[in-house]
Amino acid sequence: MSAQPIPLCVDLDGTLIRSDLLFESALSLLRRNPLYVFAFVLWLARGRAHLKREIARRAEVDPATLPYDERVVEWLREQQGQRPRVLCTASDAALAQGVAAHLGLFDDVMASDGERNLAGRHKGEALRERYGDKGFDYAGNEFRDLHIWKHARRAVVVNGGERLARAAGGCCDVERVFEARRGGLRTWIKALRLHQWLKNLLVFLPLFTSHRVLETATTVNCILAFLAFGLCASGVYLLNDLFDLDADRRHPRKRLRPFAAGTLPLSAGLVCAPVFAVAGLALAAWLSLAFAGVLACYYVLTLAYSLRLKRIVMLDVIVLAALYTVRIIGGAVVIGGGLSFWLLAFSMFLFLSLAMLKRYTELRSLLGSGKSEASGRGYAVDDIALIQSLGGASGYMSVLVLALYINSTASEALYRNQQVLWLLCPLLLYWISRVWLIAHRGQMHDDPVVFALVDRVSRVILALCAIVVAGAI
């Protein structure tokens, strides 16, 4: 009589997938309604297994979009017919069954059931009860799996590092080690979107338009305001990526973002997001309470946009334009200058055009991929023509506001050669027309503001505008 083959038991979170289903499902609920955070506390009071069960009952997690470790998946395919494969996880059974059904690689599933949290020692005991001591092989990724490996015949270490592999070797034979793939400094820079800090250069605009750039103390305040906006913005970007996991994974480029791709742990994002936000607000409060109030409004509005407003058609682009304008307001407040009606009106129309351009670019991308609707946005590809006309009109309106400003007494008081400023109008008309033409041809970057800062022609136009303004002074 031949001996039964030893089963291979595989962990899910951090092993089979480069993520954690508890965080995935919890974030899915919080995206739907942030007030669920209070329910989490009540459910946790009855145990982690109960928390997982209640979240799993309500959450929507698509197994097809999860960031699987393809090395492990391919290895599991190679094990087919050689030994039974068991998905053994601390995640709730409802979510684990969905993953197993999607992959079609497992013969059985062991998971938390609402009463027993199948993690660490509890998982080790459950496997020992079912298969006996040294009666199973186990693939895991963290140090608490040592409680399981001491009862296992062989260990498979996934993404755990050399130290964990050595510790596992002290418990049982190590069959295989999948080298750790963790994000480093470059990955964090990408997650924090430091390139997006370029948008915060708008805080310097009131400094330049008021001709106070030579005032050292005022310039230093603007630099600190720039840093405060950057820290706050990075905190929101982290939250936005955590709440947008499913939508990002369906996007051709956003699926490579660190949290969507699983190159950074979701838990790290949940910790760092409030840390960056608090650091930015603290720096703002040190500058002035008025500026802290502006930055707090920016944070709340950005958070509202990430959680809900970006899914409301047309309101989303107006909020985006407002967020750019708030940066200019912050710059005016931090230098103690008055808010210019002309500057605010100009920025609102210009950035509304760029926000429309961003949506237009996304819809063009969807059209090229054969999709009909933007996931989580509310727009359809049939809206392309309307978005294009509204965005172009808004951009030209900003030029009209600029022309009216040049002809006003406000510009006369600041510029000796006021008429030279008229050269700004054709430059801006050319630039707006050009970026929309590039978008129409499907060659626009996802973020037109970033495009404007890295595009060579745009930089030349910006330099010419600076020369024009200098000549007018």
Cβ-in-10-Å burial (0-12, 13-18, 19+) of 376 comes to middle
User: What's the pTM value of the predicted model, to 2 decimals?
Assistant: 0.84
DSSP state of 13: B
Per-residue pLDDT tens listing for the chain (473 residues):
346 789 999 999 999 999 999 999 999 998 888 889 999 999 999 999 999 999 999 998 899 999 999 999 999 999 888 899 999 999 999 999 999 999 999 999 999 999 999 998 999 999 999 999 999 999 999 999 999 999 999 999 998 888 999 999 999 999 999 988 777 888 999 999 888 888 898 899 888 888 888 888 899 999 999 999 999 999 999 998 998 888 888 877 788 899 999 999 999 999 999 999 999 999 999 999 999 999 999 999 998 888 788 888 899 999 999 999 999 999 999 988 767 788 889 999 999 999 999 899 888 887 766 665 665 567 888 889 999 999 999 999 999 999 999 988 888 878 888 889 999 999 999 999 999 999 998 888 767 777 877 789 999 999 999 899 888 88
pLDDT computed for residue 269 by the predictor? 92
Q: What is the pLDDT of residues 320-330, one digit of tens each?
A: 999 999 999 99
Please list, in sequence order, all residues whose beta carbon lies within 8 angstroms of the beta carbon of residue 118, skipping any fewer than 6 positions away. Answer: 49, 88, 89, 90, 110, 111, 112, 126
Sign of the torsion formed by the C-alpha atoms of 273, 279, 285 and 288: negative
The domains found in the chain, sorted by start residue, are: 8-178 (3.40.50.1000), 190-233+280-296+321-472 (no CATH)
pLDDT digit string (tens) for 223-233? 999 999 999 99
User: Distance (Å, rounded) from C-alpha 309 to C-alpha 305?
Assistant: 4
- Cα separation, 130 vs 142, in Å, equals 22
Cα–Cα dist 356/157, whole Å: 48
What pLDDT is attached to residue 1?
35
Helical residues (DSSP H) of 138-265, grouped into ranges: 146-149, 161-169, 185-192, 205-209, 216-243, 245-249, 258-261
